[in-house]
Amino acid sequence: MTSNKLRIAAFQRVPVFDDIQKTLEQLHTDLCWCQEQGVELALFPECYLLGYSSDAQTISRRALTIDSPVFKQALQQLSTFNTDLILGFFEQRMAGIYNSAAVLRQGQLMGVYAKQYPNERGVLAGSASPVFEKSGYTYGINICNDANYPACAADLGQQGARLLCYPLNNMLAPATAEKWRSKSLDNLRQRAMETGCWVVSADVVGTLTSSHEHKISHGCTCAVAPDGNVLTRVDEGCQGAVVFDIG
């Protein structure tokens, strides 16, 4: 058992759509702050790089291959930071499109997790449950809807994960958002208690209004101890970050 600590941060942010430079500027600001705070692992919301969607056409337009110039640009611009980060995006692979989260370390791609229970049109289900390591601690990733399926978390725990990272996107129609306001947190607490793992989530926050729909996310960015106790949480309706240590 390591005697080291691992310092983790998770960010609750207003979503940005189809503007990678704006997203990278915000990431640069947040990662500068992480370095000042001694954060070793930073988590951002689901599909944060170019924005989340459930529309197949929009998803197809936003999907990136990991060897694309746009993705390589992101790696290059984030290469100066010591903090590892988990960054979500729609990923184009040979088989089709996945809702993925990449683990980045000083400009290097350490691996990718693909959502196993996607609820977006035209998105394929991932099948692998990779684990990663930072400062002697093993961790894994589940994405948003995966939190409804205990087996996803259990698979990571069985591989020695002590931390489960959940990129979320709870931007929903108001009535649905109200339903998930407590359910989302309840799921995270359950996954922590079932696995004995620490849990951290990062969600979007704010409202989206267009000519045909109105959506809201209250935000569920938090850190949960293995006993299910919520250690810290970003206030609903606000941008911000949680920081905590394990070990």
* pLDDT value for 1: 45
Q: Quick check: 90 pLDDT over 90?
A: yes
Nearest CA to 245 out of 200, 211, 206 is that of 200
Exposed/middle/buried for residue 104 (C-beta within 10 Å: 0-12, 13-18, 19+): buried
**CB–CB of 242/45 below 8 Å?**
no
- CA dist 156 and 197 (Å) reads 9
**Sorting pLDDT into bands at 50, 70 and 90, what band is 3?**
low
**Alpha carbons 238 and 188: distance in angstroms, whole number:** 20
pLDDT for 221 = 98
* pLDDT for the residue 4: 84
Confidence band of 15 (pLDDT split at 50, 70, 90)? very high
- Residue 38 reports pLDDT greater than 70: yes
Question: Average pLDDT in the 214-234 region?
Answer: 98
Q: Give the C-alpha distances (Å, rounded to integers) separating 240 from 54, 146, 235, 237.
A: 25, 24, 8, 10
Residue 210's pLDDT band (boundaries 50, 70, 90)? confident
pLDDT in tens, 95-147: 999 999 999 999 999 999 999 999 999 999 999 999 999 999 999 999 999 99
- How is the chain split among helix, strand and coil, in percent rounded to 5? 30, 35, 40
Q: What is the pLDDT of residue 244?
A: 97
Burial of 138 (0-12, 13-18, 19+ CB in 10 A): middle
pTM reported for the whole predicted model:
0.97
Residues in a beta bridge with 41: 8, 84
CA distance to 43, 115, 128, 215, 220, per residue, from 152 (Å): 18, 10, 10, 28, 19
Q: What is the pLDDT of residues 151-204, one digit of tens each?
A: 999 999 999 999 999 999 999 999 999 999 999 999 999 999 999 999 999 999
Phi/psi of residue 197, nearest 5 degrees? -100, 155
State mean pLDDT over 66-91. Answer: 96
Class of the 6-246 domain? alpha beta
Output DSSP code: residue 16: -
Strands 214-217 and 206-209 turn out to be antiparallel
